[in-house]
Amino acid sequence: MFKPDLTRDDVTPESVWLNRRQIIAALGAGSIAGGLPLAANALEELEPHTWEQITTYNNFYEFGTSKSDPAENSQDMVTDPWTVKVDGLVDNPGEYSLADLIGDIPTEERIYRFRCVEAWSMVIPWNGFELNKLLNKVGVQDGAGYVAFETAVLPDVMEGVKFPILDWPYKEGLRLDEAMHPLTIMATGIYDKPIPNQNGAPMRLVVPWKYGFKSIKTIVRISLVAEQPVNTWQHSAANEYGFFANVNPEVDHPRWSQASERVIGAGLFGSRIDTLMFNGYADQVASLYEGMDLRKNF
């Protein structure tokens, strides 16, 4: 069984996070800025991957474009019952209840780095299962080369889909070998709790060596297809967002560098670290792209 390199030791306990906030409140921003560098440095050593950070700093444009909008605006979305359409080059296509589709697949914890294309990052303890188990269950037919995904469009609760911010529904895709890789998971929880609406309930994709926009949320359709699908951001701005979206410090976004990243919550004023090739998972996934020009296939 695959064992990721991050463990619970890399995740700040919620009690430590709460204590950190109490210290900040007690000192006050002015006091720290005015001459307590030792305290500030100590706080900077803490990791930002708490439940609060993970669930309140999100991109989910269906619920709004600011980082706080998803947590504030998604709570009326009902995710039980939930239906997922499986179609295309599969042996067992159909409209599945989520329980029927994944109910017999055991879940496990995977603690992964998460790197946004906007150059911020965090570490998240997901609960879920390898996507290959779902694909094997529905049966992948010969000729399938890619897996395409779609997010729900629910205008009654998703205020954002009423505006042409993007071309709805949100779409994403993976090459079949990427989808079958043991690092690629479907997440249904965080911190052993059901995944919140703002993080992609009831089920989302997580591909830890790619930028976060590839890890599509609130999935309602999974299609096995022969040709490479066009993802939403690629359709919106092909010069800025490619199909592969592999984390690569040597390939900048046209509007900002990808050589470093801002760790959410690390220190009072943020902390930048060097971006790792494939987000630190090069040993596991670099072979998938052997011989490819990663600047051209960005």
Percent of the chain clearing pLDDT 70 (strictly above): 83
Residue 152 pLDDT: 98
Residue 33 pLDDT: 28
- Closest among 203, 184, 173, 212 to 88, alpha carbons compared: 173
In a domain, 235, yes or no: yes
Position 6, amino acid: L
Residue 265 pLDDT: 86
Residue 241 pLDDT: 97
Cis peptide bond upstream of 208, omega within 30? no
In a domain, 296, yes or no: no
Residue 155 pLDDT: 97
The pTM score is 0.86
> DSSP labels for 160-201?
GGGSTTS-SSPEEEEEHHHHHSTT-EEEEEETTEEPPGGGTT
Give the residue numbers spanning the domain of 220. 8-289
Give yes or no for a contact between 4 and 116, defined as CB atoms under 8 angstroms apart.
no
Residue 38 pLDDT: 23
User: Per the structure, how many domains does the chain have?
Assistant: 1
Q: What is the CATH number of the domain that holds 253?
A: 3.90.420.10
The segments of the chain whose pLDDT lies below 70 read: 1-46, 48, 267-270
In a domain, 298, yes or no: no
Secondary element (H or E) of residue 207: none
In a domain, 52, yes or no: yes
In a domain, 110, yes or no: yes
* Size of the chain in residues: 298
Residue 270 pLDDT: 60
Residue 49 pLDDT: 80
In a domain, 222, yes or no: yes
Residue 13 pLDDT: 52
Give yes or no for a contact between 126 and 188, defined as CB atoms under 8 angstroms apart.
no
In a domain, 3, yes or no: no
